[in-house]
Amino acid sequence: MKSVSLKKLFLLHSWVGIVTAILLFIVCFTGALAVLSRPELKIWANPELHQLNSVPSEKVTELINHYHTLVPKEFAENIHVYLPTGHNTHLLTILFESHDGDENYDEEAAYAYQFDPRNFELVNEYYGAAGYFYEHRKTDAPSFIGHFHADLHLGRPIGLILTGFLGLTLLVSTITGLFIHRQLIKELFTFRRKKELNVVVNDAHKIMGIWGSLFHGAIGFTGAFLGLATIILLPAAAFVSFGGDQDKLVAKFTAMPEPIITNDYQATDINTILIDAQARYPKAKIIDLTIMAHNDANAQVYLRLIGGDAVASQLLHYHGNGEFSKSMSSFGDIPGPAIKVLELLFPLHFGNFAGIFVKLIWALLGLSTALLPLSGMMMWLAKRSRGSNPTLSELAYQRWNRAIIGSCGGLVLATAILFPAQVLLNNLVPVQMHNAYFGPLFFYSWLAWCLLAVLPINYHRYLQVTMTLTGLACIAVLPLNLALSASHAFSANNLLMTVVDISFLFIGGLFIYVSQRLVAKQLNGVTAKATQEVTI
């Protein structure tokens, strides 16, 4: 009975992995990069943020008060300010929003003003639909990858549902994998790196799966929740508790309820509020603030903070006169352990709760999560193409390997190309045109590399070229920065640029080194096999 159950678990583990292997690799690989996309890589990608420490609260207050007088009255009651921290936008953005629109727009409309944080020069002015503004903000390579990880650029609901279900399949694969590997202690420490490639892949798959099982399970669960919450769980909760009315559910849990406007003038003391928040949480960063009923006696101000001693993001509530009210979670001031768990899901998924060291660990573990389904698929293919009665012909085995290299290796290559492209765009292309480049460059290069898999080329050579080109793309970042930019690895006043540029150089060299080692190992295997056949 026990052997039958293990066999069923093994079949479930195998087929879940085979069906979703490539998609899981795509989501997990981009997720590993998304861990570092905000704020580290986003700061690197935007010259406006290179020398920026903080934005003076007096200047923020001055700009809000000035432009508040320029917009129509219906836009002056809800103000959103996005500070240039690298977590959202690279520009200081002040957005005046009307939830009911105006004579030109039936739905939410906005006036937005964006300033260069280095000199506070107005660089962009917008009037129109609020949704359009948010969807068409300037992107960059890290943000593009982060958004791709979230919904594969398929949008809602399809993209979120797909990534949510992939999280579930990762969770299922992790649990079944632990049950079918009964010799856990032995396999924890078995890695025969000098054996042939199939043995190395087999050992690596087991080591990554067992050692990282807790991480893989947590990422699978949190990814499933974040992907499916707004698409499936939110409507389900509204159906159960509010008769299907999602607006009532959102209103119940909103952390920023609309205040009652008194029309009695009282200046909103934004400067005092910003200074007080930074004094209360000196290690945290204020990433945005929302001002409701500005300059009204009943004005309310909400500040969103990230980092510091808190694991999850915090929401600080102030009255307009500068009086501190309370600190709460993004879900609001709702008691109970369930809310505490919910607010931990996002930082647990992206590792942004304890500094850069934890984020680096999360990125490395994320890469191992991406390699798990890939190595599992390679094991499955190798098993069916070997032995006295193989079920997979040599020609089919070659095609499968080319398909994996084209789809997964092509994704890695397309991602690597974005970073030297970012340097070129920053220095050679007007900033307002950047958004037009990332999508075509990423998807067309990925598609071109996938189409190469159709050609009858040796898959070992295909893999070597893929890794070599990826390495060269990474290595190109530093020389391009040196040649075109004043801010690079050898700028004494920018440690982040130094670390990122040199990291790209190291990663590129590692790709080329590994590609040469893999080819050498394969050639040694072929030579040994030929020698054995001659001897026989």
Q: Residue 530 — pLDDT band, cuts 50, 70, 90? A: very low
pLDDT (mean) for 453-461: 90
Q: What is the pLDDT of residue 83?
A: 95
Look at residue 335 and tell me whether its pLDDT is greater than 70. Answer: no
Q: What is the pLDDT of residue 185?
A: 56
Lowest average pLDDT, out of 34-38, 61-65, 243-247, 450-454, goes to: 243-247
Supply the pTM of this predicted model. 0.89
Structure tokens belonging to residue 70: 């320029």
Q: What is the pLDDT of residue 239?
A: 46
Structure tokens belonging to residue 188: 């924890």
Look at residue 79 and tell me whether its pLDDT is greater than 60. Answer: yes
Q: What is the pLDDT of residue 533?
A: 45
Report whether 304 contacts 286 (CB < 8 A): yes
Q: What is the pLDDT of residue 202?
A: 73
For residue 24, give the nearest of 210, 227, 230, 211 by alpha carbon: 227
Look at residue 534 and tell me whether its pLDDT is greater than 50. Answer: no
Question: What's the mean pLDDT when you consider all of the chain?
Answer: 85
- Percent of the chain residues topping a pLDDT of 70: 83
pLDDT digits (tens, 9 = 90+) for 279-299: 999 989 999 999 999 999 999
For residue 521, give the nearest of 200, 98, 278 by alpha carbon: 200
d(CA 180, CA 5): 9
pLDDT digits (tens, 9 = 90+) for 16-46: 667 788 899 999 999 999 999 999 999 999 9
**Where is pLDDT greater, at 157 or 319?**
319
What 3-state DSSP class applies to 93? strand
Look at residue 174 and tell me whether its pLDDT is greater than 70. Answer: yes
- Percent of the chain residues topping a pLDDT of 90: 49
Lowest average pLDDT, out of 21-30, 176-185, 411-420, goes to: 176-185
Q: What is the pLDDT of residue 340?
A: 75
| Domain ranges (residues) in the chain | 1-46+140-255+334-391, 56-138+261-333, 393-527
**Where is pLDDT greater, at 515 or 411?**
411
Look at residue 117 and tell me whether its pLDDT is greater than 70. Answer: yes
Look at residue 238 and tell me whether its pLDDT is greater than 50. Answer: no
User: What DSSP designation does 230 have?
Assistant: I
For residue 94, what are the β-bridge partners?
A: 81, 113
d(CA 179, CA 186): 15
Q: What is the pLDDT of residue 222?
A: 92
What 3-state DSSP class applies to 52? coil
Look at residue 248 and tell me whether its pLDDT is greater than 80. Answer: no
First to last CA, the chain: 44
pLDDT digits (tens, 9 = 90+) for 354-404: 888 999 999 999 999 999 888 888 888 887 887 677 878 888 889 999 999
The number of beta carbons lying within 10 Å of the beta carbon of residue 184 is 11
Q: Residue 15 — pLDDT band, cuts 50, 70, 90? A: low
Q: Is the alpha carbon torsion for 372, 378, 380, 382 positive or negative?
A: negative
Q: What is the pLDDT of residue 386?
A: 78
Q: Residue 156 — pLDDT band, cuts 50, 70, 90? A: confident
Q: Residue 1 — pLDDT band, cuts 50, 70, 90? A: very low
Q: What is the pLDDT of residue 53?
A: 73
Q: What is the pLDDT of residue 336?
A: 67
Look at residue 161 and tell me whether its pLDDT is greater than 80. Answer: yes
d(CA 498, CA 491): 7
Q: 212-216, 240-244, 532-536: which has the highest mean pLDDT?
A: 212-216
Q: Residue 527 — pLDDT band, cuts 50, 70, 90? A: very low
pLDDT (mean) for 256-278: 92
Q: Residue 235 — pLDDT band, cuts 50, 70, 90? A: low
pLDDT (mean) for 123-134: 93
pLDDT (mean) for 151-163: 87
Q: Residue 114 — pLDDT band, cuts 50, 70, 90? A: very high
Contacts of 132 (CB under 8 A, 6+ apart): none
Q: What is the pLDDT of residue 492?
A: 59
162, 235, 300, 315, 373 from 150: Cα distances, Å: 10, 20, 32, 23, 19
pLDDT digits (tens, 9 = 90+) for 338-351: 677 778 888 989 98
For residue 294, give the nearest of 449, 118, 71 by alpha carbon: 71
The one-letter amino acid code at 336 reads G
Lowest average pLDDT, out of 95-104, 176-185, 208-217, goes to: 176-185
Look at residue 234 and tell me whether its pLDDT is greater than 80. Answer: no
Buried b or exposed e, range 286-310, using 16+ CB within 10 angstroms: bbbbbbbbbbbbebbbbbbbbbeeb
The enclosing H or E element of 176 equals helix 158-180
Report whether 515 contacts 468 (CB < 8 A): yes
Q: What is the pLDDT of residue 157?
A: 82
Report whether 138 contacts 435 (CB < 8 A): yes
Half-sphere exposure of 486 (CA within 13 A, CB side): 5
Look at residue 409 and tell me whether its pLDDT is greater than 90. Answer: yes
Look at residue 14 and tell me whether its pLDDT is greater than 80. Answer: no
Q: What is the pLDDT of residue 184?
A: 58
**Where is pLDDT greater, at 320 or 213?**
320
